[in-house]
Structure 1
Amino acid sequence: MSFWKKLFGGGGDESSAGAGASGPHEDYKGFTIRAALVPAGSEYQLSGTIEKEIDGVMKRHDFVRADRFSSKDEAQSFTLAKGRQIIDEQGDAVFGQSWPAKPN
């Protein structure tokens, strides 16, 4: 099965069941960080989303890192920590634009 099917749960076989399933979430500095369960063989890959409503529009940033963990709990804990780090470093710019937009 291809990497993308494993990552996004395509293919419909037993090994992909639960791929990308939602794990715990955390509110942090006005953002919501959600850990995703992404099986990678017998391990779990660090993967999650960062969301925030800006000007009435829900913005979302997906992130996946190469880090792998043997337990779900450990993967989810590190995913939430990575999400906090991304927010601390990038803030609203994580969505590809600085908010609020500066006038010309």
Structure 2
Amino acid sequence: MSLFTKLFGGGEKSNPEPVGYKGFDIFPDLIAEGGKYRLSARIEKTIDGDRKTHAVIRADVFESRDQAESFSITKAKQVIDEQGERIFDTVIR
């Protein structure tokens, strides 16, 4: 990995294992920004044979990848607790 990749992000993208929570799968999908990481996660669940996906993206930015992943998972769990399967009902127009 080059020095520029380490400083500014990009390059190899990790594919973390999903975290199971109340029947949902949570994938931390961090966004690298200028050497920091924006809180972002993907929540997925199979409902009636159809795989549903919901993205959680926040303004929070962290210095460490591990810290960003941890907070992304925590935030996704909070969304699941508050909304459950209704998160998949949202239609953006």
Q: Provide the rounded CA distance (Å) in 1 between the counterparts of 2:16 and 2:32.
A: 12
Task: Give deviations 1:42-101, integer Å, cap 9, x for gaps.
Answer: 21000110000000000000111000000010000000000100000000000016xxxx
Question: Which protein has the larger Cα radius of gyration, Structure 1 or Structure 2?
Answer: 1
Could you tell me the percent identity over the aligned residues? 42
Q: Which stretches of structure 1, 4 residues or longer, exceed 4 Å deviation after superposition? A: none
> 1:23 is paired with a residue of what secondary structure?
coil
Preserved contact between residue 18 and residue 37 of structure 1 (Cα < 8 Å) = no
Given the two structures, how large is their TM-score scaled by the length of structure 2? 0.80
Question: How many residue pairs align between the two structures?
Answer: 83
Note the residue ranges of structure 2 that are not aligned, 5 or more in a row: none
- One-letter amino acid of the counterpart of residue 10, structure 2: S
Highest RCO, 1 vs 2 (Cα 8 Å, sep ≥ 6): 2
RMSD: 1.7
Given the two structures, how large is their TM-score scaled by the length of structure 1? 0.72
Equivalent of 1:16, from 10, 14, 19? 10
